[in-house]
Amino acid sequence: MRIDRLDPSEMEEIIRYIMNEAATIVNRAATIVPVLQHLPTMHKGLLDTLDMVFIPKQIASQLVLALALETSMVTVNQIWQIFRSVAASISTHSRLIGQLKVEQTQSLSQDEWMDLAEQIDNIQGNDVWRTERNCRLYESEKNTG
């Protein structure tokens, strides 16, 4: 369709149609603009509603707290292990016990393993119960007879 071949009435009709469409678009835009102005408020309201329904902030804060506690406990445990390792390398008793435990893992018989275990108990003071007559762990002549 060529514009130079239109008669004036058709041209007027086309111009009116274009003007009406432009007015419709302007009217729609006028109704959208106030909505766009309130978009941040609506966005906040939507997020508040989601917070009330799903409580993600509380869950996220609990997860962060749990992660922080777990991380701190792992860190404290690692520091404690390092401290024990350093203390063991300084202490004569700890070095001797470590050496006996290594020998225990390399022992070839149960008797050899038991002898090493008794030596470790003696160094650590875990054999005191054997000298007490009234200890429930020790089968003395008084307890067996």
The answer to the question of residue 34 being in a domain is no
The answer to the question of residue 119 being in a domain is yes
Q: How do residues 55-67 score in pLDDT, each as one tens digit?
A: 666 777 788 889 9
> Quick one: DSSP state of residue 139?
-
The answer to the question of residue 70 being in a domain is no
Q: How do residues 11-69 score in pLDDT, each as one tens digit?
A: 677 777 877 777 777 667 666 656 566 667 767 777 777 667 666 667 777 888 899 99
The answer to the question of residue 140 being in a domain is yes
Helix axes 39-54, 8-37, angle to 10 degrees: 50
Asked if 94 and 87 touch (Cβ cutoff 8 Å), the reply is: yes
Confidence band for 2, pLDDT divided at 50, 70 and 90: low
The answer to the question of residue 139 being in a domain is yes
Number of structural domains, the chain? 1
Location of structure tokens 């991380």: 71
Q: What is the amino acid identity at position 86?
A: V
Residue 139 has pLDDT above 70, yes or no: no
